[in-house]
Structure 1
Amino acid sequence: MTSYTTSSFKAELNERGWRLTPQRETILKIFQDLPKGEHLSAEELYLRLQEESNISISLSTIYRTLKLMSRLGILRELEFGEGHKHYELNQPQPYHHHHLICVKCNKTIEFKNDSILKIGAKTAKKEGYHLLDCQLTIHAICPSCQRALLPV
């Protein structure tokens, strides 16, 4: 897994015959500047771009760009059980992490477990695959929501 810069993103796109458009560069920059642990949906990214950017990007362009960046391994596509996907920059170790999500309140905890990544990398290598991402998402009920479910 590589940490992506604008130049590495541009090189990867050029290799496939695509261009680094101002829209793609702006979206990459937003994800590079996200605080650790923050994830964005396409709609949240759209709102942020409207507030912070002087570049107009349609929601359909955002969806296509997020899908492209996920396929390239630049972004991690995350399912938090909310009916839509979230995205974050795909960071190499030691920042690689997994998610524990409460199915009641959607509280999300990030955690590290190197054995999960090692198993994923070993399996991919054995089968001749190039690993882009390895993630574990655990859906559970947090202690607060468990207490709320108990009869009084």
Structure 2
Amino acid sequence: MLEESYKLLKEREIRITPQRKAILEILYDHRGEHLEIEDIHRMLSAGRGDTSRTGLATVYRAIELFQRVGLVYRLPMDNSPGRYEFIGPRAPDHHHLICLECGRVEEIDDRLVDGFKKRIMKAKGFTVSERPIKVYGYCRYCKKRP
């Protein structure tokens, strides 16, 4: 999937600089995780070589570029910075559970969402668009706290 991403960037005539490549690899290596820009920058800075001195602004610009071409998804968060995840080329929308206490983000199985969409269609005659669904609540860890 990473090679397909590089191919997409080349097709769009986007230069694959060492910094962009390193940022994309970090996101790819952390697939399924939802990282803040600062997390990505910290991981990049902890590396070796030229990319370890990459500025925070460069990370922001690279992430914005990857979003525009559809390689990275930004999960907007209430009261905190957005989080980002690698979705790769041709990835469908996917959905998230977001903990109101700790901010933990988990992905929802598409089969559950499909069932939910069908029930809404049947009960209300309303067609749910292909937009990511965010469900807010309390994760299994925070739910157990006194």
Q: Give TM-score, length-normalised by structure 1.
A: 0.68
Whether contact under 8 Å (2:98, 2:134) holds in the other structure is yes
Corresponding residue to 1:25 among 21, 33, 36: 21
Distance 1:109 1:47, change over 3 A: same
Structure 2: how far apart are the matches of 1:136 and 1:37? 16
Counterpart in the other structure of 2:45: 50
Amino acid at match of 1:57: T
Q: Give TM-score, length-normalised by structure 2.
A: 0.71
| Residue 27 of structure 1: how far off its partner (Å) | 0.9
RMSD over aligned Cα, in angstroms?
A: 3.0
| Residue 80 of structure 1: how far off its partner (Å) | 3.1
Structure 2: how far apart are the matches of 1:64 and 1:114? 34
| Residue 114 of structure 1: how far off its partner (Å) | 4.0
Whether contact under 8 Å (1:46, 1:59) holds in the other structure is yes
Counterpart in the other structure of 2:96: 99
Structure 2: how far apart are the matches of 1:138 and 1:52? 35
Structure 2: how far apart are the matches of 1:88 and 1:139? 19
Corresponding position: 1:135 with 2:132: yes
Structure 2: how far apart are the matches of 1:30 and 1:87? 11
How many aligned positions are there? 130
**Is there any run of 5+ residues in structure 2 with no aligned partner, and where?**
118-127
Whether contact under 8 Å (1:9, 1:20) holds in the other structure is no
**Is there any run of 5+ residues in structure 1 with no aligned partner, and where?**
125-133
Summarize deviations over 1:30-55 as a string: whole Å, max 9, x none. 11211x53221111111111112421
